[in-house]
Structure 1
Amino acid sequence: MSVQDYPSRVSDPKSRKAETFSYLPSMSADQIKAQVQYIIDKGWNPAIEHSEPERATDYYWYMWKLPMFGETSADAVLAEVDNCIKANPNNHVRLIGYDNFAQSQGANMLVKRGDM
C-alpha cells in the first residue's frame, strides 16, 4: 500500500489544504448540519471564522460575530454560516466548536471554500 501525495505549494493557492477535512470530498448540506449537531450535542460553543483564500494559512482568521455560547439550534448556527458566506462570498468559512472544559477547539472544519 502506498500513501497518496497531495502536492500543496505556496505558489499555487488552489493546491493548498486548510485542515484534515480538506482532503475529503466536500460535505453536503446534510453532512454539515450533522457536524453542527455533533458540536451542539457535545456542549461545545459554535463559532464561525472567515479568511481570504490567500491568507488561509495565517494563524489569524476573522471572527464572524462572537461564538454562539449555549446555542442549541443547528439551524440557527447554519443561518449564521449562511450570513457569513453572503457577507464574505470570496472567503473561506470555517466552523469551530470550542470546548469549555478542555479550553481548546474540539472541532474545526472548512464549510465553504473561497474563490481563488
Structure 2
Amino acid sequence: MSEVQDYKSSLSDVSSRKFETFSYLPEMDAAGIRKQVEYIVSKGWNPAVEHTEPENAMDHYWYMWKLPMFGETDVDRILSEADACHKAHPNNHVRLVGYDNYAQSKGAEMVIYRGNPV
C-alpha cells in the first residue's frame, strides 16, 4: 500500500491552512496561473478577484475586489486586476474565481497570492 502524505494544517497555525484543491499541489508559477485564467475565459465564466486577511480566510466571507469582470476575455486585464488587489492588500490572501452563469455557481476558485499573517 502506498504512503499517504499527511498535510499538517491547524487553526492555530495560520500559515499551515489549505484552501481549495490547488493548495495541496505545488505553488503555481505565473505561467500556471495564466493557464487557469485562460481556462476560465475559454469556458465563458466571469472572473472575479476576492481577498481577505489570512486569519479570517476559513470562517468569514472574502472581500470582493471591485465588481466581477462580467464578459471580460482579456487575460492580461484579469491578471492585472489580481495583481492590483495584491498590491493594495499585500498581507491578504487573494483568490481568483470563475463564475459559471449557467450553473449559477463557481466553476473555478483558487488562491493565487498568499498573504503574510500579521
Please give the TM-score of this superposition, normalised by the length of structure 2. Answer: 0.95
The amino acid of 2:113's aligned partner reads K
Q: Secondary structure at the match of 1:10?
A: coil
Q: How far apart, CA to CA, are the structure 2 residues paired with 1:44 and 1:88?
A: 25
Query: What does 1:1-116 align with in structure 2 at a 5 Å threshold?
Result: 1-116=2-117
Instruction: Kindly state the Cα deviation for residue 2 of structure 1 after the two structures are TM-superposed.
Output: 2.3
Q: How far apart, CA to CA, are the structure 2 residues paired with 1:39 and 1:112?
A: 18
Q: Secondary structure at the match of 2:8?
A: coil
Instruction: Kindly state the Cα deviation for residue 58 of structure 1 after the two structures are TM-superposed.
Output: 1.8
Instruction: Kindly state the Cα deviation for residue 59 of structure 1 after the two structures are TM-superposed.
Output: 4.1
Instruction: Kindly state the Cα deviation for residue 104 of structure 1 after the two structures are TM-superposed.
Output: 0.3
Q: Deviations over 1:53-91 (max 9, x none)?
A: 000102400000000000010000001001100100000
Q: How far apart, CA to CA, are the structure 2 residues paired with 1:16 and 1:66?
A: 27
The amino acid of 2:27's aligned partner reads S
Please give the TM-score of this superposition, normalised by the length of structure 1. Answer: 0.97
Measured on the aligned residues, the alpha-carbon RMSD in Å equals 0.8
* Percent of pairs with identical residues: 66
The amino acid of 1:4's aligned partner reads Q
Q: Deviations over 1:78-115 (max 9, x none)?
A: 01001100100000000000000000000000000111
Q: How far apart, CA to CA, are the structure 2 residues paired with 1:106 and 1:19?
A: 12
Q: How far apart, CA to CA, are the structure 2 residues paired with 1:59 and 1:33?
A: 27
Number of corresponding residues:
116
The amino acid of 2:31's aligned partner reads D
